[in-house]
Amino acid sequence: MKFEFEFGDLFKIPNILCYIRILLVPLFLYIFFTAAEPKDYYIATSVVMISGATDFLDGQIARKFNMVTDLGKLIDPIADKLMQLAMVVALTYEIPYMYILVILFVLKECVTSVVGFIVLKTVKRRLNGAKWYGKVCTAVLYAVMLILVAFPHVDLMLQRCLLIVCAAALIMAFIMYVRLYAIMVLDAVKDRNDKVLY
């Protein structure tokens, strides 16, 4: 499970698409914070959608053309989380109670990342990609954030309903990932060595 890197990995198309997604984060923030009329918010939403499209493309290209690299596995989730964080933080300036979602998001990402790292280093087990609940959480987060970015002044009751749905998805994913890490540790303690990737 050693990190493998070759200089040529820097220039593989899937990784270049990841760089583009990272660069789209400050572009989104600039457009959102300088928005003066509804069309500006639509443009900011389009930037997020372009980011999502490149996310889909880099995964497809990497698998189809055998361009999966450890570098890509590292920067792909980072690019995802940066855009997600940018959206939730930006919306705290427009949406009441959005800060609660920011806290939940940061808590989930920090705790699962630290726990995952500790489990990898101590019992040599790791996740084999995102699980269904992680994918559902990401889909819900993007859907809610896209609606709120495009229409930041939508009805207050609808805002709260969307925030509750998003918070529920974050909490569910957090609990399920912590549970899975606990299973990994338990398997290691009981000497179940037939499984390293989960």
* Stretch among 2-16, 41-55, 68-82, 130-144 having the lowest mean pLDDT: 2-16
Confidence of residue 161 (pLDDT cuts 50, 70, 90): very high
Mean pLDDT, range 111-119, rounded to an integer = 93
> Are the CB atoms for 181 and 115 separated by under 8 Å?
yes
Report how far residue 54's alpha carbon sits from residue 63's, in angstroms, rounded to the nearest whole number.
14
How many percent of the chain have pLDDT more than 90? 68
CB 86, CB 142: distance < 8 Å: no
What are the CA-CA distances from residue 73 to residues 105, 127, 180 (Å)? 21, 12, 20
pTM for this prediction:
0.88
Q: Which residues contact 137 (CB under 8 A, 6 or more apart)?
A: 169, 170, 172, 173
Report the mean per-residue pLDDT for the chain: 91
The string of pLDDT tens digits covering residues 24-48 is 999 999 999 999 999 999 999 999 9
Percent of the chain with pLDDT over 70: 98
Angle between helices 132-150 and 70-91 in degrees, nearest 10? 40
Residue 3 has pLDDT above 80, yes or no: no
If 0-12 CB within 10 Å is exposed, 13-18 middle and 19+ buried, where does residue 121 land? exposed
**Whether residue 157 has pLDDT greater than 80:** yes
Name the token pair of 66: 């055998």
The confidence score (pLDDT) of residue 73 equals 86
